[in-house]
């Protein structure tokens, strides 16, 4: 069962071992992990996947691989996240099968018209909500109004995660706008205490979801 509330996408750890950061973040309440190393070769990515898999232990938190569906398949990972420069979700579904988790980056409302790929996706990612130094080659930021517009236009049963410039100060706004979870890189990977950072983000998201549902 996909729990999109707090999604850690891996990134710069300020010199600390990635597996330590991911393990701490999962202890702090991360519900989903994506291994994202844009410059890694497939064998390096697969080795990193194995390290993360050990780090999360028996928590059952799913680990997805960014971009590379072949590595996702050969490592036995939970699935893949794809965007405009990657294979399409429907193609990833053919490759990985019905049980895989497949996420798709959404940049504008028009993309929702691609019903084959929306249907092939387990979640959609509003990308980016705000400009971020972590990824500079993005399309125009959607803002909170863009998140709300996507949520209104999407199939109601499909989870929407929001990514880009999200931290503890604005996470509740993103949930209030209609996201079902937040995806973060720097708010956890760059934090002095990644477990505490994850814990704060998770309770902020949980509180905002409870307010939205009350």
Binding interface with ligand LCLJCK34 (CB under 6 A):
7, 9, 34, 36, 38, 66-67, 81, 83-84, 86, 103, 105, 125, 127, 135, 161, 163, 183
Binding of residue 70 to Mg ion (CB under 5 A): no
Is 76 or 165 the residue whose CB approaches ligand TZP more closely?
Answer: 165
Nearest CA to 212 among 155, 160, 163, 167? 160
Of the residues 53, 135, 203, 212, only one is catalytic, namely 135
Binding of residue 164 to ligand TZP (CB under 6 A): yes
**What is residue 48's three-state secondary structure?**
helix
Record the tokens describing residue 196, joined without a space.
């505490």
Residues 7, 36 contacting (CB under 8 angstroms): no
Letters for 136-155 (x = contact with ligand TZP by CB under 6 A, - = none) are --x-----------------
Binding of residue 67 to Mg ion (CB under 5 A): yes
Residues 154, 148 contacting (CB under 8 angstroms): no
Q: Is 38 annotated as a binding residue?
A: yes
Cα distances from 205 to residues 135, 193, 202, 208, in angstroms, run: 23, 18, 5, 5
Q: Residue numbers of the site for Mg ion (CB under 5 A)?
A: 67, 83, 86
């Amino acid at each position: 069962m996909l729990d999109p509330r707090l999604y850690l996408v891996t990134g710069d750890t300020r010199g600390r071992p990635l597996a330590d950061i991911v393990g701490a973040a999962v202890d702090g309440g991360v519900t989903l992990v994506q291994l994202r190393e844009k410059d890694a070769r497939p064998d390096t990515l697969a080795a990193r996947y194995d390290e993360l898999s050990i780090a999360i232990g028996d928590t059952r938190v799913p680990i997805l691989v960014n971009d590379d569906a072949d590595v996702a398949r050969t490592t036995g990972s939970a699935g893949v996240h794809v965007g405009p420069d990657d294979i399409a979700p429907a193609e990833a579904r053919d490759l990985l099968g019905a049980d895989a988790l497949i996420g798709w980056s959404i940049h504008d409302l028009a993309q929702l018209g691609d019903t084959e790929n929306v249907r092939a996706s387990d979640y959609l990612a509003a990308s980016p909500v705000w400009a971020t130094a972590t990824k500079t080659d993005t399309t125009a930021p959607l803002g909170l109004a863009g998140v709300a517009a996507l949520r209104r236009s999407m199939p109601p049963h499909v989870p929407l995660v929001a990514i880009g410039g999200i931290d503890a100060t604005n996470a509740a706004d993103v949930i209030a706008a209609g996201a079902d979870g937040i995806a973060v890189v720097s708010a956890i990977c760059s934090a002095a205490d990644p477990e505490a950072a994850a814990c704060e983000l998770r309770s902020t998201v949980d509180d905002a979801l409870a307010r939205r549902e009350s």
